[in-house]
Structures are given as structure tokens and as C-alpha cells.
Structure 1
Amino acid sequence: MKRQPDEYSNDFSHWKMQEIIRLAEIQLDSQHQEWISSQNRACSIIGWIIPIMATSVAVAHYTGYETAGWVLVTAEMLSVLCALYSISPRKWMREDKESLDLEKLKELPKENFLANVIETYKNQIFINKNTLNQIDSWITASLLFLVFAPFFAAAFHLALHSFPTAHSSLEGKIKNHSSEVHYYINVHL
């Protein structure tokens, strides 16, 4: 959609500035669509994790794989937190020409007006790009926690059960400490 010539398009430099503005507006629209897509991806991840986490809680509570189940739940909670953080409010710039305070900018000479609009759009594009990079990083972290959760759980389970003496002595210490705490509470309280 090309713009019609207006009072600022008297020469090539004005035409060039108008084209830069038009392209910047297109890029801002594209960034906005990417932002919406990232939000949808994060919500989809959360939607997948909830039933997976319910299954992991059941594994942790009702099977002999308690340790692995709770490691799964922990990794999945980290995945949910990363996805939630990625959709949390952030600094986002999408201002249309109407909200650029055009009346104030029009008081400037023609060259300064267009240059200020271009500079404003350039700053908005830069801020949005950084925001999108942060969102993508958090979504990637969320996916990594989700994908590697079963491997963490299996490794932790194998590590605990590969050394049965260490595992049983640790359980014994926990039970012993627990009984000492109960004794202290019953005697002193």
C-alpha cells in the first residue's frame, strides 16, 4: 500500500524518509504479530504442562518412583514458571502515528518532523526486538525444562538407587532425625 504524495514529498529526500517510515511501520506490525505468536506459544506450553504435571504428581505419590516423580514435578514447575514469566507484562512499544504527538512534531521544520518520526520508530523497533529476544529465551528455557525433565528424573533415580547403602543410610538419618524431633516436641512442649 503506497502512500499518496503529500506536502512533504517535494523531493527525493522527503520521499525516502516517507518510505523509511512506511517500512518501520511494517516492521512494528510484524513485531507485534511475533509478540502475539510468542504469547500463544507460551500459553500452549502451559496447557501441555498441566496434565503432564498431574501425571507426575500421581507417579510421585502412588508408585515406587517417588524421587523420580518429585524431580519431574519440580522440573515441570520450573517450566511453567519460565512460560509464565515469558508472558508477563514487559516494555512494549507500538505507537501509531496518532499517538506520536504529531501536533507537537509538526511545529518543527519538515525535515525535522520526518527525522523525529523515523527516530521514534527506530527506538520502538529496538525496544521491541530486545523484548522479543527475552521472551524467546524464557520460552526456550521452559521447553528445555519440559523436554529434559524425564532425563533429570531418571538420572536422579538411578543415582539414588545405584548406591543403596548411601540411600538407605540417608533414609535412616532422616527417620532418626524425625524421631528426635518428635521426642523433643513431646517432652518439651
Structure 2
Amino acid sequence: MDYFLWFDNDFGRLNFFHTSIRGKNLMWNDLIDKINIPEDSIILDLGTGHGLVLIKFASKISNEGHVTGIDLWKNRDQSNNSLKSTQKLLQQNNIENRADLKTSDMTDLPFEDKKYDFVTASMAIHNIKSKQNRYKALDEATRVLKTEGLLIILDTGNHKKEYLSYLIALGYRIKYAKTYGIIGWWTGPWMSSYAIIAEKKL
């Protein structure tokens, strides 16, 4: 029995590190391949963390576009999560002229209505513990997203159907919804990753 406990733990750790280091990157490459990002796009990244998504989108736009990343910068959500360390990554990737970072709660965004062409959230919304507040984050993302803009969510947990139902009720058209296999496993198939690309129609 000790052997199987060891195997399960080791198996889980391997999957976690693979998804964290390589899988997230592959899944976002898959999502970005499915959309058109004009060079002058204005983008908001919710729960930016170490800046993976922000950097990917910033690499697709010109200086006429812009990406803003927001986070509460909590280590409990992601290890070594800090505004200072992510700011260094912007400098290293030479994107400071078309990207910036702010400290903000995704359930209460300090931005005007219909400002963004894209709103993204990578492994962030599930960190909001109550369903009511997860819906509030989706409401806020919807408020700041332009009509016909895209909301792109990559997440884990058991909230995929919850998000899909709520987004449809908000008037979105679901353009893509997928649950990923082993590249998106966090410990195992019981904790997989899924993606949603939804177009705001109202």
C-alpha cells in the first residue's frame, strides 16, 4: 500500500510540473492559433501571475496596441508571484512600451466599459472560492469587453459547465470549448484543464 501511495504522489507531482512548465504554454499556443489578433488590439489579462499570456499577446501586437495585466500578486495563487518579478519579465522581453501591470481584483475592475478587444484569464478564476464571486468576475470581464470582443478562459477545476451556462446567459456565442488531455493534467485526469473562447454579442 505504501508503494501505491508513493506512485500516486510521484505521478501527481510529475503531471503538475509538466503542466505548469510546458502544458500551459502548449495550451495557450493552441488557443492563440485559433484567433486573429490585430496589431492594434487592446487586451486585458486577468490574474497575470508570471506573465505567460501577457507576453504572448504583447508579442502579437504593435505599439498601437496594448496589454494590461492585473493581479493581487498572492503567493498562495502562484509561487513567487509578485508585481516586481513580473515587471522584470516585461523588461527582459522588451515589451514595456506596449504592456503594463496593475494591482487589481478581477471582481471589481477599475476600467471603463467596453474598452478591451480581448479579455484573458489563465488558471485564475478558479482561485475565487465562491460561485457568486466567480460570476462577478465574469460580469466584470463582460463589462469591460467590447461588443464582438473575445473572452478567453483557460482554467482547471469543475467549473467548465458553470462558466459555459453563465456566459451563454450573458449573451455570448461560444466559439470553442475544449477539455485538454495529459498536457493539461494537474496531478491527474481528475484535475484537468479546459479552455473556452466566447464572443460577446450584446
User: If the TM-score is normalised by the length of the shorter chain, which range does it land in?
Assistant: under 0.3
User: Greater CA radius of gyration, 1 or 2?
Assistant: 1
TM-score, L = length of structure 2? 0.24
Greater relative contact order structure (CA < 8 Å, 6+ sep): 1
TM-score, L = length of structure 1? 0.26
